[in-house]
């Protein structure tokens, strides 16, 4: 996705059990997609994390947060959403120290140069916080299918709300529901 890496070089002091280091700052994250929706972080996201040596591995935990803009899937208006996501990463210092029951996607191998890129951790964290469907509000009324007016801004001049009876009367198949197909 062309995201610029955010590499940190882990200091030698971290390579003793129970040592930890704190990192925080801002990063221009840009845009991320989930399904058909795109979320754009116009301002840098803020990250605040700790890296702890758990003996054999480095555990990265913390928070990445920021405000993203997306487009509502119902009314097509832009809306803002605040994202606050938990970062979690696990880097094995020595690949042989891997637990046999650990899944491939639960850890990474620490690169030999002791440099790690934080951006994949940000992506994994943020994508989990994105809604399944981008909506400006859970009860967004959407657009009128006839005239296209945004119904959140008020009713349009089209046929007043079609009620169930009206729809049933106009649906040639609705009568089938009343038939019994049993002989
Ligand atoms: Zn909407
Ligand atoms: Zn209308």
- The pTM of this model reads 0.80
Question: In the structure encoding, which two tokens stand for residue 153, read together?
Answer: 């801004």
Ligand 2 centre distance from Cα of residue 143 (Å): 8
User: pLDDT for 64-102, tens place per residue?
Assistant: 999 999 999 999 999 999 999 999 999 999 877 677 777
Bridge partners of 179, per DSSP, are none
Q: Quick one: which ligand is closest to 78's CA?
A: 1
**Structure-model confidence comparison of residues 179 and 39, the more confident one:** 39
Rounded Cα gap, residues 15 and 11, in angstroms: 8
C-beta of residue 30 within 8 angstroms of C-beta of residue 44? no
Specify the pLDDT at position 182. Answer: 54
Ligand 1 centre distance from Cα of residue 164 (Å): 24
Please give the mean pLDDT across all residues of the chain.
88
User: pLDDT for 22-36, tens place per residue?
Assistant: 999 999 999 999 999
Ligand 2 centre distance from Cα of residue 167 (Å): 17
Specify the pLDDT at position 107. Answer: 87
Question: In the structure encoding, which two tokens stand for residue 135, read together?
Answer: 């909506």
C-beta of residue 174 within 8 angstroms of C-beta of residue 168? yes
Report CA-CA distances (Å) from 34 to 2, 155, 178.
16, 31, 42
Residue in the block written with tokens 């990445």: 64
Specify the pLDDT at position 173. Answer: 55
Specify the pLDDT at position 170. Answer: 56
Q: Quick one: which ligand is closest to 157's CA?
A: 2
Ligand 1 centre distance from Cα of residue 71 (Å): 8
C-beta of residue 46 within 8 angstroms of C-beta of residue 58? no
Intra-chain end-to-end CA distance of the chain, in Å: 60
């Amino acid at each position: 996705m062309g995201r610029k890496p955010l590499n940190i070089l882990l200091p030698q002091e971290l390579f003793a059990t129970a040592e930890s280091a704190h990192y925080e700052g801002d990063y221009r994250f840009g845009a991320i997609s989930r399904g058909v929706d795109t979320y754009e972080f116009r301002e840098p996201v803020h990250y605040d994390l700790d890296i702890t040596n758990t003996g054999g591995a480095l555990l990265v935990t913390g928070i990445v947060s920021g405000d993203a803009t997306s487009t509502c899937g119902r009314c097509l208006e832009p809306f803002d959403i605040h994202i606050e996501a938990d970062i979690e990463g696990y880097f094995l210092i020595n690949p042989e120290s891997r637990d046999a029951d650990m899944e491939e996607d639960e850890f990474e191998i620490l690169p030999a140069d002791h440099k790690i890129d934080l951006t994949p951790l940000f992506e994994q964290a943020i994508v989990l916080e994105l809604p399944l469907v981008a909506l400006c509000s859970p009860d967004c009324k959407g657009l009128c299918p006839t005239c296209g007016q945004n119904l959140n801004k008020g009713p349009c001049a089209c046929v007043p709300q079609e009620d169930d009876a009206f729809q049933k009367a106009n649906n040639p198949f609705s009568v089938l529901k009343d038939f019994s197909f049993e002989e």
